[in-house]
Amino acid sequence: MEIRLLGTVEAFADGRPVRLGPPQQRLVLAVLATHAGRVVPAETLIDRVWDSAPHGARRTLHVYVSRLRHVLPIPRRSGGYVLDVDPEVVDVHRFRRLRDRGDHEEAIELWRGEPLATMPGAWAAAMRAAWEQDYLDAVVAWAAGTPSAAVGKLTELVGAYPLVESLAAELMRALQASGRSCEALRCYERIRRRLADEFGVDPGTALRRAHQAVLAGTVSVVPAQLPADVPGFVGRRRQLAALDAALLTGGTATITGAEGVGKSALAVHWAHGVRGRFPDGQLYADLRETTPAEALRGFLDGAPNASPALFRSTMAGKRALIVLDNVCDAAQVRPLLPGAPGCLVLVTSRDPLLGLVTAGARPVGVGPLTGAEARQLLANRVGAEPYGVEEIVARCGGVPGALAFAAAGVLTRLNAAFE
């Protein structure tokens, strides 16, 4: 089974296309597919399929679902319906998984054009806009690592989205890296004129910085200091959702909890998933291993006169993600906070950091994993659920650090058995 939403809404069974019926019936499938494996209340389906529900909408919805059931598993459960499939068969869920683990190129290949193409209504329009932004962010993140290979894709997208400045800035960097500085300057001038003619505004900070880099004959290096993503990450849906909400407000978010509970893993995993939203890069410092002054020098490329004031001036107008890991207390954090909006600071600590929360930071608490999540973590690390998994989970108490240590012990014994 394969269901496609990133383009025309389509479904395939055993490689053959499935008849999905008229547009509103396909829209019912699209709504269910975005929540694959979860119950969607009938009222939610009605609201999303019809902007203004007509008389008899519930009966019509039942007819649509009945028709789709001939080709797809859609049982009725507790007041709603569920598309009973693995989310991985839906392209938008695969896209997010690939993006979150940093496989941007593979994620981009799933894109087939305008999402939910021809689907009517406000819900479809909102999803279309959100998924297009996710796609553009993934392209920018991919292009930052492979600028020369990305010129063609960026040129195509700048033509389709001429006023998305992050794309134009990345195209200019890619052209400069490919030895095509004149083309980069022409690209800037086209965007500058269009912004002035249509909106009466000048290019934004990122685009101006790219222009200045081309004029100076250099390519500005975007910092990418995050540690490697955490293999086999599981759970934390509530915390990930809370961090997603922090994207909308910016500022500071604190991740706090006991030792070994997985604060750093959560921070790094989430940061990798959203790094494309921060065109000015990602900064990282482990405050258990370095002082705030040393962290500032690392953030400012080793500047000998690194200071909080210089850091705030450097970060003014930028959109960067700053991860401060293993913080002792709020005093360590304050010299490393940018002074202007636009950046997001993510802080992990065993301390509740009440001083930061009082000042407006968004608190995100982290506790032990559930039993199911703990078993999944062990299976991810070992390759299968190890013998005595229930006893291991019970002894580790759902603490990821202890579970990782136990998994390492299991792997060591397995390797020794085959030597």
Local confidence band at 341 (pLDDT 50, 70, 90 cut-offs): confident
Mean pLDDT of 240-266: 89
Q: Give the pLDDT confidence score for residue 38 in this predicted structure.
A: 93
Q: Give the pLDDT confidence score for residue 85 in this predicted structure.
A: 94
Of 186 and 418, more confident: 186
Local confidence band at 271 (pLDDT 50, 70, 90 cut-offs): very high
Q: Which is it for the CA torsion 314, 318, 323, 327, positive or negative?
A: positive
CA 49 to centroid of chain Cα atoms: 27
Residue 291 pLDDT > 70: yes
pLDDT (tens digit, 9 = 90+) per residue, 11-24?
Answer: 999 889 999 999 99
Residues paired with residue 126 on neighbouring β-strands, in sequence order: none
Residue 418 pLDDT > 60: no
Out of 3.40.50.180, 2.60.40.10, 3.40.50.2300, 1.25.40.10, the CATH code matching 146-215 is 1.25.40.10
Average pLDDT value over all residues in the chain? 88
Local confidence band at 315 (pLDDT 50, 70, 90 cut-offs): confident
Count CB neighbours of 222 within 10 A: 17
In single-letter form, the type of residue at position 293 comes to A
Mean pLDDT of 47-54: 90
Q: Residue 210's closest CA among 158, 272, 132?
A: 158
CB 320 within 8 A of CB 343: yes
Q: Give the pLDDT confidence score for residue 314 in this predicted structure.
A: 83
Mean pLDDT of 271-282: 88
Residues paired with residue 255 on neighbouring β-strands, in sequence order: 348, 364
pLDDT (tens digit, 9 = 90+) per residue, 391-404?
Answer: 777 878 878 878 77
DSSP state of 258: S
Residue 163 pLDDT > 90: no
Element (H, E) at 240: helix 237-249
DSSP state of 342: T
CB 279 within 8 A of CB 205: no
Residues paired with residue 17 on neighbouring β-strands, in sequence order: 12
Local confidence band at 268 (pLDDT 50, 70, 90 cut-offs): very high
* Cα–Cα separations (whole angstroms), residue 248 to 11, 67, 100, 316, 341: 33, 39, 18, 18, 12
pLDDT (tens digit, 9 = 90+) per residue, 119-162?
Answer: 999 999 999 999 999 999 899 888 887 888 889 999 999 988 88
pLDDT (tens digit, 9 = 90+) per residue, 343-391?
Answer: 999 999 999 999 999 999 999 999 988 888 887 777 777 665 666 677 7
Classify 322 as helix, strand or coil.
strand
Q: Give the pLDDT confidence score for residue 414 in this predicted structure.
A: 52
CB 357 within 8 A of CB 264: no
Count CB neighbours of 216 within 10 A: 9
Residue 104 pLDDT > 60: yes
Task: Say how far apart CA 7 and CA 68 lie, in whole Å.
Answer: 20
Q: Give the pLDDT confidence score for residue 246 in this predicted structure.
A: 86
Residue 304 pLDDT > 70: no
Helix ranges, 146-200 (H): 151-160, 165-177, 181-199
Q: Give the pLDDT confidence score for residue 407 in this predicted structure.
A: 73
Residue 79 pLDDT > 60: yes
Residue ranges of domains in the chain: 2-109, 146-215, 237-365, 371-417
Domain 237-365 has CATH 3.30.70.250: no
Q: Residue 11's closest CA among 41, 38, 40, 36?
A: 36
Q: Give the pLDDT confidence score for residue 218 in this predicted structure.
A: 59
Task: Say how far apart CA 418 and CA 395 lie, in whole Å.
Answer: 27
Place of tokens 């490329």: 301
Domain 2-109 has CATH 1.10.10.10: yes
* Phi, psi angle pair for 17, to nearest 5°: -65, 145
The model carries a pTM of: 0.58
pLDDT (tens digit, 9 = 90+) per residue, 189-209?
Answer: 999 998 898 888 889 888 888
Task: Say how far apart CA 102 and CA 133 lie, in whole Å.
Answer: 16
